[in-house]
Every structure is written in structure tokens, then in C-alpha cells.
Amino acid sequence: AEFLFMDDNARPHRANIVDECLQSEDITRMDWPAYSPDLNPIEHVWDMLGPVADFDDMRPEAQNYFEAPS
């Protein structure tokens, strides 16, 4: 079977032992691009929502919700 290891550049994925294992098993490593908030759609939603949402007023309601017995 062929494997493709999608690497997010996390430190554990870059350890020598991982490199050796991937090479010995003939597993191809595919690098992911660096994380970019510009490419993450939810960041744009928060940018638009932040100025119009009153998060301070929401806190007591949210706290009551999570503290309420189920």
C-alpha cells in the first residue's frame, strides 16, 4: 500500500526518528502550507461579528446556561 504523510511541520513530526521511519517505510511526506488566518473563513466571520456583538452581555446568559442543571 502507498502512504502519504501530510506533515503540518509540528515539532514531533520533524523528529529524527520520524524521518528515519518514513524513509525506511518509503512513505512520502507532503508538507502543508503554514497556517494563514487569511485563508481560514471563520476568521473573517469573527472580524465582522466582533464589532456588532456585545460579548459582555452574553457572558451571564452563557454562564447561566452552563451552570443550569440538566
pLDDT tens-digit series, residues 8-23? 777 887 889 988 998 9
Is residue 6 a part of any domain in this protein?
no
Cell of 57: 452581555
Is residue 50 a part of any domain in this protein?
yes
Is residue 49 a part of any domain in this protein?
yes
Q: Tell me which residue range forms the domain holding 15.
A: 11-66
Contact 3, 22 (CB under 8 A): no
Q: Which phi-psi region, left, alpha or beta, contains residue 36 (left: φ > 0; alpha: ψ -120 to 50)?
A: beta
Is residue 5 a part of any domain in this protein?
no
| Number of domains the chain contains | 1
CA distance 23 to 15: 13
Is residue 62 a part of any domain in this protein?
yes
Is residue 45 a part of any domain in this protein?
yes
Determine the residue type at 63.
Q
Alpha helices, DSSP H, located in 1-70: 16-24, 41-49, 55-67
pLDDT, tens digit (0-9, with 9 covering 90-100), for 30-65: 877 666 666 777 778 888 887 777 767 777 777 777
